[in-house]
């Protein structure tokens, strides 16, 4: 198939505005007569607010209004479960809303003439606190789950309940029983075990949360904000304000990064609440807020920390026979998307392999930590780390090359997932493994066996001097495109064609969020292709709930896939109308992705997803064995993207995803103690600088078409993230002979590991 | 924030103000520490006394060969890095300055300020302590006094400085020809990292400096020394005690010893024993103590081999372009009389501009809130992310750490002014000096791109259709700086929030070093965090603009 714009490196349509400083992000928007809002955060991990006195704040200079829990019409919200108060405190209509459950719970809003006045007045709010005991360890919060693979005991009592609705502090769980796990282990010649611990990660998008709210000329409470799903924001706001959906409008200006961290509400509801309550008091003025970096870091959810117990078996020839896995995820104070995150962990924790006998139990547990939330990969990286470390241990135990072991067991078309149903077709995993292995220097002999390159043959310094040791590691992975697990994925697109004989202009209405990943550019590309017109004639109107239907979330590597299918159908309809001489010719379509099912609660049987993406990677590291510093010198990532709509942007996603995951693997060291966050700044929570990235990153695009994807494309933005930590851990093992089942591989952790020591005293 | 702001023209005036305002005021030079302390409520001075406009305080003096250097109170980290004299004869200090923060921070932060803040993790104090530097303080009533390191530094963030006193200069004895020294630092990442541990080591050997340094030969008999004999050693340790400490036992042990592997190992153990570290978010006490051993041994080995300068860049990236590095030089006059109502006047993107209500806030907020230039972003408000990078008198700085008053009478260029620096077709062979942009040229309003409602648009009246995105975003009239064009073409822009700061750093590098090496490009961007791209396409964009 030859295309006109698909597959070409069209420059991003948003780049000119961004390089000249003209593009407006939420914090850049200024309206005349605007007020400013500051938020009072709890700052305590678990406490009851006995009383709250706002009189001094209300009387402070410049203050226009102070809002508390009593001002919230329906004081609850949450994407998957409405278990979080908008504002915590007494006088609320929501039971239990007088309790703060993590440091980032919000207590009050102060609206003033200036930001400085609003912030100063916040400090004048008097609160009578009753501190409550704090639970930060999921195994202590839900003792029935403790005890590893075989040790759970439902009889163990819960210390205390964190939510009225949850008696056992367990917020979600999945269970898979495929085949006969005992028989699977009996059939194994080799069994390996591991207990893996994956850390919290902060999104650290460069733009802190911000927005502006006002009531528009149609009487709609309007919020201009950076989010990931405008129509879901609209729904959450409408629910909390007790308003009909059509009386709420959400608009996304430019979004300064998201990575999942903007999926849950931050300033959306509070801004809307302020604008709405002000109007009721006769004050018709826009309200703006900007969170500081510290507020951003405590105020939005994080990647879930997980503890994963794994026991896998294989025959001597490398055939996997059994995998038994248990996962406990720290959900933190509220549900957020823990159920969805855990679903992906449930699938990825047994790897992209066909295994006849599988037993998986996964649990998400409430604690008083900052909530676990969506973050690139959505639970996939955690499960992947355990699975791929298990595979590398098996390869060693079997004396088999890790690439060869993977190729032997890997999922291919029609093979069965752990959920008992075939994987959707077009599986490109084998191709990505071969591409990554070859690029990294693996060779295959005449008998078909694979051989790892020497650790130092591809490194800049061929013979490292002590104390430097070098190593190579390999890992691969898969992840679903879209949320699914029975959820009907959908996306709206509308195309209006204008002109006379020829199409002069095509106006595309599409609500998807461009968080920086380049969605709007590929939407224009795909629309131009579907319409058969030059790119320059396509105009995109995006991300305004008043003008278009829902595109669904900019999440789960789903947006290109969903948008493309919606646009293709809308284009077909618009072109039919065009041929019918309609002017403008309008085509509107809601694309529904192929049907999926939830997993059976007892066996996990089901068809959870309609498409997957695939990736394989190799890491080259140099370890300073005296300081423990790990330097990733080179990295190879091969990604099956189905069809690269815009190869330059695809490579940008691979590079960005790999570096973000390298931060997760070796650098980013989230620290909290007793529910308090110790790393709430960019000077204490360190993310990679330009000097911290590998000298060389080979981003390889593999294109095995997805049968249902637009132009063959499948989702791809999360997949390059997935196997990075496991590949790096394998490389560090190759270099040092020490296994690390826990990361980040900070200098001190590696230093301890090399000395056979374990825990870091004095830090959480 | 602060209520009043003075910018005296002489040290005497500064001392007069200090005497008058005492502990309700605070001196400010680079501001990289003080603005943070104010933002975090650690200090709340009512009055700031800006000494950055005092002539002479930014000078590096040399009293004579073999004698001391003097560093005026306004000497920045980058001035030290750029001083061939200091690199030659005070290498430990130069290397410490190079490893501080990022170029934008090194352009503002002063060595004196680093000392006055007196955190045990502050990198410049360790080499100063090893080099036996002294500190000259002055006050109106008592004149000058000069203190040793041990007298000046009193504890964590505590010095002997009295409220009415000012640190006027640091006296740094030069290394002798028979001495070698270096500074090593362990941070948690490769740039912009606070020291977990740092060490400064200075060794003296009569084998050095006379051109007859023996070549190490491990095969030779031990009776005939193959390694240098150390006559004197000075070792200072940072971030392992309430102040920097000297490893006295290690120093004494090394005196008179041949620097064998065994001697190095034992000296390193003795240095580790001198550390009294604590555990914090950056590392445990146990790890810190062992890292003192590792770094001390490495420093000793490097000095023995004479390789301590092996990674010193031939041309360090400074990001001051072709500008005079002395910030504030373009100010027309000292600002002795504070008028809280007086507007701040500056040359902003080539246009004379007055900002009536910008006092008492940072330059970043003044640009965004008062000048309406929102292209400059806030990402951290603590000098970590670089999204707020602008040029102040031709020097790249992080505007979140600059008091707006320091821009009075100065020239400021933001991302909105970058395109005006693009070589015009007629003059592309002789580019304009970027620090003198567009003066006298007619200014026309830039074309507006369809990206959301503009400043001043009323939401209450605005029609529908806020978010039109068109592939023809860059109109034919749009003039772009080559680096802006390269960012578009290379796909270096994703979310774009870091982009303005990166552009300002990259453009400044290209002005300073038109054909930078790959390493120089990376060094220029160490102060700018990007979370989307992994930096590769940004590096590619800079590379595209370089004419090889």
What is the secondary structure of A325-376 as a DSSP string? EEEEEEEETS-TTHHHHHHHHHHHTT-SB--SEEEEEEEEEE-SSSPEE--T
Dist. CA A439–CA A618, nearest whole Å: 9
Q: Give me the percent of chain B exceeding a pLDDT of 70.
A: 84
**Spatial contact of A667 and A694, defined as CB atoms under 8 Å apart:** no
CB atoms within 10 A of CB A306: 29
pLDDT tops 80 at residue B329: no
* Residue contact A762–B494, C-beta within 8 A: no
Mean pLDDT of A698-709: 98
Digit-coded pLDDT (tens) for A645-661: 999 999 999 999 999 99
Phi, psi of A297 (to 5 degrees): -70, -40
State the pLDDT confidence band at B211, using cuts at 50, 70 and 90: low
Asked whether the predicted pLDDT for residue A57 surpasses 70, the reply is yes
For residue A462, is pLDDT > 70? no
Please indicate if any CB of chain B lies within 8 Å of the CB of A256: yes
Task: Report the pLDDT value the prediction gives residue B342, as an integer from 0 to 100.
Answer: 86
* CA–CA distance, B16 with A753 (Å, rounded to integer): 58
Residue B220 has pLDDT above 80, yes or no: no
Give the mean model confidence (pLDDT) for residues A742-756: 96
pLDDT, tens digit (0-9, with 9 covering 90-100), for A267-280: 999 999 999 999 99
Q: Tell me: pLDDT of A33 over 60.
A: yes
Q: Closest Cα to residue A371, out of A326, A415, A339?
A: A339
* pLDDT band at residue B429 using 50, 70 and 90 as cut-offs: very low
Q: Is the pLDDT of residue A367 over 80?
A: yes
**pLDDT at residue number B67:** 85
Most A CBs within 10 A among B469, B487, B535, hence the mutation to make, goes to B469
Instruction: Give the per-residue pLDDT at B335.
Output: 57
Instruction: Determine which helix (DSSP H) or strand (DSSP E) holds B203, and give its type and residue range.
Output: strand B197-204
User: In the structure encoding, which two tokens stand for residue B15, read together?
Assistant: 């001392």
User: What are B254-275's pLDDT values in tens digits?
Assistant: 999 999 999 999 999 999 999 9
Share of chain A above pLDDT 70, in %: 98
Q: Which of B193, B294, B496 sits opposite A23 (nearest CB)?
A: B496
Check residue B210 and give its pLDDT: 61
pTM for the predicted model, two decimal places = 0.94
CB burial of A688-711 (b: ≥16 within 10 Å; e: otherwise) equals bbbbbbbeebbbbbbbbbbebbbb
Q: Any idea which of A113-117, A304-308, A364-368, B423-427 has the lowest mean pLDDT?
A: B423-427
Say what the pLDDT of residue B225 is.
77
pLDDT for the residue B463: 34
Cβ-defined contact of A204 to B531 (cutoff 8 Å): yes
A210 in contact with B, Cβ within 8 Å: no
| pLDDT confidence bin for A2, thresholds 50/70/90 | confident
Least confident of A459-468, B117-126, B469-478: B469-478
- A162: tokens are 């964190």
Judged by DSSP in three states, B128 sits in: helix
| Interface list for A 46-85 with B (CB within 8 A) | none
Name every residue whose Cβ is closer than 8 Å to that of residue B265 and which is 6 or more positions away in sequence.
B297
Q: Kindly determine whether residue B496 and residue A748, on different chains, have CB atoms separated by under 8 Å.
A: no
- What's the pLDDT tens digit per position in A419-456? 999 999 999 999 999 999 999 999 999 999 999 997 65
Provide the 3-class DSSP secondary structure of residue A689: coil
**How do beta strands A585-592 and A612-624 pair?**
unpaired
The closest of A105, A3, A90 to A45, measured between CA atoms, is A105
State yes or no: pLDDT of A463 exceeds 80.
no
**Interface touch A692/B191, C-beta < 8 Å:** yes
Place of tokens 């501190």: A131
Report how far apart, in Å, the C-alpha atoms of A176 and of each of A173, A324, A347, A350, A411 are: 10, 10, 9, 11, 18
Residues A201-219, mean pLDDT to the nearest whole number: 98
- Contacts of residue B377 in chain A, CB cutoff 8 Å? 25, 206-207, 256
Return mean pLDDT, chain A. Answer: 96
Tokens of A702: 């593999």
pLDDT in tens, B51-99: 999 999 999 998 776 689 999 999 999 999 999 999 999 999 999 999 9
Mean pLDDT of A471-476: 98
Q: How many CB pairs under 8 A join A and B?
A: 315
How far, in whole angstroms, is CA A428 from its chain's centroid? 23
Nearest by Cα to A36 from A113, A100, A99:
A113
d(CA A382, CA A308): 8
The mean per-residue pLDDT over the stretch A339-358 comes to 98
Q: Give me A665's structure tokens.
A: 């693997």
| Structure confidence by residue, pLDDT tens digits, A132-144 | 999 999 999 999 9
- Choose among A254, A655, A763: nearest Cβ to B281: A763
H helices present in B63-199, as ranges: 77-82, 84-89, 91-98, 103-106, 111-117, 125-130, 149-152
Q: Which residue among B446, B471, B523 sits closest to A536, beta carbon to beta carbon? A: B471
Give the integer Cα–Cα distance in Å for B308 and A259. 42
% residues pLDDT > 90 (chain B):
79
Disruptive mutation site among A228, A297, A690, A695 for chain B (greatest number of B CBs within 10 Å): A690
pLDDT exceeds cutoff 90 at A609: yes
Q: What pLDDT score does A761 carry?
A: 43
Contact B85, B94 (CB under 8 A): no
Asked whether the predicted pLDDT for residue B341 surpasses 80, the reply is: no
Residue B548 confidence (pLDDT): 58
Q: Hey, is the C-beta of A7 within 8 angstroms of any chain B C-beta? A: no
Residue of A4, A22, A287, A514 to mutate when probing chain B, most B C-beta within 10 A: A22
């Amino acid at each position: 198939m030859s295309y006109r714009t698909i597959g070409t490196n069209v420059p991003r349509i948003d780049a000119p505005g961004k390089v000249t400083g003209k593009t407006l992000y939420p914090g850049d928007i200024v309206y005349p007569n605007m007020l400013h809002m500051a938020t009072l955060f709890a700052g305590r991990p678990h406490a009851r607010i006995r009383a709250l006195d706002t009189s001094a704040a209300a009387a402070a200079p410049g203050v226009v209004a102070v809002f508390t829990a009593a001002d919230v019409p329906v004081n609850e919200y949450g994407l998957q479960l409405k278990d979080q108060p908008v504002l915590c405190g007494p006088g609320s209509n929501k039971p239990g809303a007088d309790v703060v459950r993590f440091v980032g719970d919000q207590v009050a809003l102060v609206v003033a003439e200036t930001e400085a006045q609003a912030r100063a007045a916040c400090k004048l709010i008097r609160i009578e606190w009753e501190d409550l005991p704090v639970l930060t360890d999921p195994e202590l919060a839900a003792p029935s789950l403790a005890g590893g693979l075989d040790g759970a005991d439902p009889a163990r009592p819960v210390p205390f309940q964190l939510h009225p609705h949850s008696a056992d502090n367990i917020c979600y769980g999945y269970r898979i029983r495929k085949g006969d796990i005992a028989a699977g282990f009996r059939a194994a010649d080799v069994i390996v075990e591991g207990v893996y611990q994956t850390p919290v990660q902060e999104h650290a998008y460069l733009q802190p949360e911000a927005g502006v709210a006002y009531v528009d000329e149609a009487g709609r409470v309007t919020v201009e904000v950076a989010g990931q799903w405008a129509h879901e924001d609209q729904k959450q706001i409408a629910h909390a304000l007790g308003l009909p959906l059509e009386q709420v409008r959400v608009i996304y200006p430019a979004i300064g990064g998201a990575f999942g961290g903007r999926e849950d509400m931050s300033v959306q509801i509070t801004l809307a609440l302020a604008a709405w309550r002000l109007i009721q008091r006769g004050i018709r003025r826009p309200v703006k807020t900007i969170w500081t970096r510290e507020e951003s870091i405590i105020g939005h959810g994080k990647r879930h920390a997980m503890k994963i117990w794994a026991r896998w078996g294989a025959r001597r020839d490398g055939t996997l026979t059994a995998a038994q896995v248990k996962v406990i995820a720290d959900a933190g104070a509220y549900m957020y998307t823990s159920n969805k995150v855990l679903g992906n962990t449930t699938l990825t924790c047994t790897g992209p392999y066909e295994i006849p006998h599988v037993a998986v139990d996964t649990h998400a547990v409430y604690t008083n930590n900052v909530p676990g939330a969506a973050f690139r990969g959505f639970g996939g990286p955690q499960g992947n780390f355990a699975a791929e470390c298990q595979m590398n241990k098996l390869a060693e135990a079997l004396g088999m090359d890790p690439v060869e072991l993977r190729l032997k067991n890997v999922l291919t078309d029609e093979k069965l997932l752990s959920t008992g149903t075939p994987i959707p077709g077009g599986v490109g995993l084998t191709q990505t493994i071969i591409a990554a292995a070859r690029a990294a220097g693996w060779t295959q002999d005449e008998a078909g066996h694979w051989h790892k390159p020497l650790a130092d043959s591809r490194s800049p310094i061929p013979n490292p001097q002590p104390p430097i040791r070098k190593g190579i590691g390999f890992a691969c992975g898969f992840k679903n495109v879209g949320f699914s697990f029975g959820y009907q994925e959908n996306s709206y697109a509308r195309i209006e064609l204008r002109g006379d004989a020829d199409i002069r202009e095509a106006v595309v209405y599409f609500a998807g969020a461009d968080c920086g990943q380049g969605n709007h550019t590929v939407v224009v590309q795909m629309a131009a292709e579907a319409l058969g017109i030059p790119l320059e004639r396509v105009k995109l109107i995006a991300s305004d709930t008043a003008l278009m239907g829902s595109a669904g979330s900019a999440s789960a590597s789903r947006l290109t896939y969903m948008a493309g299918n919606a646009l293709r159908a809308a284009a077909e309809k618009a072109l039919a109308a065009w041929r019918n001489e309609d002017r403008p010719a309008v085509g509107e379509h809601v694309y529904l992705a192929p049907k999926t099912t939830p997993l059976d609660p007892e066996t996990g049987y089901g068809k959870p997803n309609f498409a997957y993406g695939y990736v394989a990677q190799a890491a080259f590291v140099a370890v300073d064995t005296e300081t423990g510093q790990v330097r990733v010198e080179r990295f190879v990532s091969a990604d099956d993207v189905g069809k690269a709509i815009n190869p330059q942007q695809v490579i940008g996603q691979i590079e960005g995803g790999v570096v973000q995951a390298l931060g997760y693997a070796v650098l980013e060291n989230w620290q909290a103690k007793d529910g308090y966050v110790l790393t709430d700044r960019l000077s204490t929570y360190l993310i990679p600088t330009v000097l911290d990235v590998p000298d060389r990153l080979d981003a390889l695009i593999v294109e095995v078409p997805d049968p249902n994807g637009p132009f063959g494309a499948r989702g791809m933005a999360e997949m390059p993230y997935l196997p990075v930590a496991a590949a790096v851990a394998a490389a560090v093992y190759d270099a040092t002979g020490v296994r690390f089942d826990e990361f980040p591989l900070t200098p001190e952790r590696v230093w301890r590991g090399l000395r056979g020591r374990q825990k870091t005293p004095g830090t959480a | 924030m602060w209520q009043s702001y003075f910018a005296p023209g002489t040290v005497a005036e500064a001392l007069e103000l200090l005497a008058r305002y005492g502990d309700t005021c605070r001196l400010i030079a680079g501001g990289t520490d003080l603005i943070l302390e104010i933002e975090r409520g650690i200090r709340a001075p009512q009055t700031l006394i800006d000494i950055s406009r005092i002539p002479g305080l930014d000078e590096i003096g040399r009293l004579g060969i073999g004698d001391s250097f003097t560093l005026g109170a306004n000497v920045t980290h980058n001035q030290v890095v750029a001083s061939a004299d200091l690199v030659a004869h005070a290498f430990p200090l130069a290397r410490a300055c190079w490893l501080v923060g990022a170029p934008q921070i090194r352009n503002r932060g002063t060595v004196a300020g680093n000392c006055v803040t007196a955190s045990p993790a502050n990198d410049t104090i360790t080499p100063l302590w090893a080099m036996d530097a002294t500190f000259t303080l002055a006050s109106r009533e008592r004149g000058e006094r000069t203190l040793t390191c041990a007298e000046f530094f009193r504890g964590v963030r505590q010095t002997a400085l009295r409220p009415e006193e000012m640190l006027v200069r640091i006296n740094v004895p030069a290394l002798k020809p028979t001495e070698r020294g270096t500074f090593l630092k362990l941070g948690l990442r490769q740039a912009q990292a606070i020291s977990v541990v740092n060490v400064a080591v200075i060794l003296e050997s009569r084998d050095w400096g006379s051109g007859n340094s023996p070549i190490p030969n491990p095969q030779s008999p031990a009776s005939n020394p193959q390694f240098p004999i150390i006559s004197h050693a000075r070792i200072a340790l940072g971030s392992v005690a309430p102040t920097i400490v000297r490893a006295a036992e290690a120093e004494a042990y090394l005196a008179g010893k041949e620097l064998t592997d065994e001697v190095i190992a034992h000296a390193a153990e003795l240095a580790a024993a001198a550390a009294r570290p604590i555990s914090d978010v950056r590392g445990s006490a146990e790890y810190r103590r062992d890292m003192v051993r590792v770094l001390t041994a490495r420093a000793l080995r490097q000095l023995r081999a004479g390789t301590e300068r092996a990674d010193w860049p031939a041309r360090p990236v400074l990001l001051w372009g072709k500008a005079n590095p002395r910030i504030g030089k373009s100010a027309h006059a000292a600002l002795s009389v504070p008028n809280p109502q007086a507007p701040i006047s500056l040359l902003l993107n080539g246009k004379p501009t007055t900002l009536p209500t910008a006092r008492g806030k940072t330059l970043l907020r003044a640009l965004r809130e008062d000048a309406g230039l929102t292209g400059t972003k806030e990402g951290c408000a603590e000098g970590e992310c670089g999204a707020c990078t602008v040029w102040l008198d031709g020097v790249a700085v992080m505007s979140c750490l600059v008091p707006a008053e320091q821009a009075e009478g100065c020239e400021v260029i933001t991302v909105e002014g970058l395109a005006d620096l693009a070589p015009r077709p007629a003059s592309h062979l002789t580019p304009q000096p970027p620090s003198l942009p567009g003066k006298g040229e007619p200014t026309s309003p830039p074309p507006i791109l369809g990206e959301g409602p503009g400043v001043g648009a009323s939401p209450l009246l605005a029609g529908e259709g806020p978010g039109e995105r068109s592939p023809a975003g860059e109109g034919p009239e749009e003039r772009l700086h080559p680096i802006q064009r390269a960012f578009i073409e290379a796909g270096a822009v994703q979310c774009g929030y870091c982009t303005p700061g990166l552009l300002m750093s990259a453009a400044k590098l290209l002005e300073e070093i038109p054909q930078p090496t790959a390493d120089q490009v990376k060094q220029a961007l160490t102060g700018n965090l990007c979370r989307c791209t992994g930096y590769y396409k940004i590096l590619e964009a800079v590379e595209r603009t370089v004419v090889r």
